[in-house]
Amino acid sequence: MVTVTIKDIAEKAGVAKSTVSRYLNNGYVSEQTRKKIDAIIEETGYRPNTFARSLKAQDTKLLGVIIPRLDSPSTNSVLEGIDETARKNGYQLLITNSNQNEERELENIEMLVKQKVAGIIMLAREITSELAQVLQQLTVPVLMLGQHLQGVHSIVHDDYRAGEKLAEYAIELGHRSFLFIGVTEKDEAVGILRKKGFTDVVAQMEGTKLSFIETSFSRSETYQKARLFLKENQATYLACATDNIAVAVLKAAHELGLRVPEYFSLSGFGGYDSTDYVFPTITTTHYPYHQLGVDAVETIQKLIQKVQVPELIKLPNQLVIKQSTIPIEQIP
């Protein structure tokens, strides 16, 4: 089998070897030249020597990714975006799971650094003082997703605004009695910001009543708790910090004979597919998880190449109204 080299590609394209090298390293090449090289690479089946290129460019073309747990629809969607964009940009992935354990999280960071990854993308669980200290001392470019730590580049969802949107919508429907089902405040995005956005809007409306229940990200745990607290519930609108929590509450309500939305309106956060495969379908705030993965790879690549990017990037979200919420006057 004949080995195709950069020189061969350059001769066929009628350009300099340096132009082909820029193309392979995602540098600037005119659109016309890029299309020509694309076609030649497709025709010849050329595959770059990633290891050799990485030694010269000091970019291993290897990205480390740390996820908090395996059973998360949002994480899976983010990973799809990361994988798709990493492959397109010539990077391989090393994906590690911390399983919501701080010690494993720190071990994963150490392992990825030893593997000489070009950069680390981290889907943050909670930011402890030890994790903050480690991240701020790393020489490897790091990008945090979902949480923000001062001094570390981050891409986050606008969780506070998402909470505001749901509360504004619920108030427009005429609801004045609310129950917010959340998670630990150790998780700033899900545990604090979503709840705060919701709470701040409700607090501005006179005559409202708002109570809170804390659960976990586990659907099974939430389901068991919901079978108890729903028996005492007086709120007409239940806001759940995640779609998984909302699905668990809906299941418990069905089993207790409490029809949604006739007994109470129900909503979540995330925009998971699961909200479309239950009855009633669940009102939610859709987060662009796949786009987060795409943006993550493009941003970490810029950091690797020492291109300046904003320390904090916020992604917008969208309220999606479905069958689980109705105006207060429609509740019997």
Phi, psi (rounded to 5 degrees) for 150: -55, 130
| Per-residue confidence (pLDDT) for residue 25, from 0 to 100 | 63
| Per-residue confidence (pLDDT) for residue 130, from 0 to 100 | 87
Q: Are 90 and 24 in contact (CB under 8 A)?
A: yes
| Per-residue confidence (pLDDT) for residue 54, from 0 to 100 | 42
| Per-residue confidence (pLDDT) for residue 55, from 0 to 100 | 40
Phi, psi (rounded to 5 degrees) for 4: -90, 135
Which stretches within 138-211 are classed as H helix?
159-172, 194-203
| Per-residue confidence (pLDDT) for residue 16, from 0 to 100 | 86
pLDDT digit string (tens) for the chain, length 332 residues = 457 788 888 888 899 887 887 777 656 678 888 888 888 888 888 876 554 444 444 567 999 999 998 888 889 999 999 999 999 999 999 999 998 888 899 899 999 998 989 999 999 877 888 888 888 888 899 999 998 988 999 999 999 999 999 999 999 999 999 999 999 998 889 999 999 999 999 999 999 999 999 999 999 999 999 999 999 999 999 999 999 999 999 999 999 999 999 999 999 999 999 999 999 999 999 999 999 999 999 999 999 999 999 999 999 999 999 999 999 999 87
Distance between CA atoms of 181 and 199, rounded to whole angstroms? 12
Six-digit token pair at 67? 């996820």
Residue entry with tokens 């300046």: 308
What secondary structure does DSSP assign to 101-135, as a single string?
A: -HHHHHHHHHHHHHTT-SEEEEE-S---HHHHHHH
Distance between CA atoms of 82 and 253, rounded to whole angstroms? 37
What secondary structure does DSSP assign to 79-94, as a single string?
A: HHHHHHHHHHTT-EEE
Q: Is the peptide bond before 141 cis (omega within 30 degrees of 0)?
A: no
Q: Is the peptide bond before 261 cis (omega within 30 degrees of 0)?
A: yes
End-to-end, the C-alpha distance of the chain in Å comes to: 76
Distance between CA atoms of 93 and 87, rounded to whole angstroms? 9
CB-based contacts of 160, cutoff 8 Å, min separation 6? 193, 194, 196, 197
Which stretches within 256-332 are classed as H helix?
289-304
Q: What is the CA radius of gyration of the chain?
A: 24
The SS3 of residue 153 is strand
**Nearest-CA neighbor of 221 among 248, 190, 195, 240?**
248
| Per-residue confidence (pLDDT) for residue 220, from 0 to 100 | 95
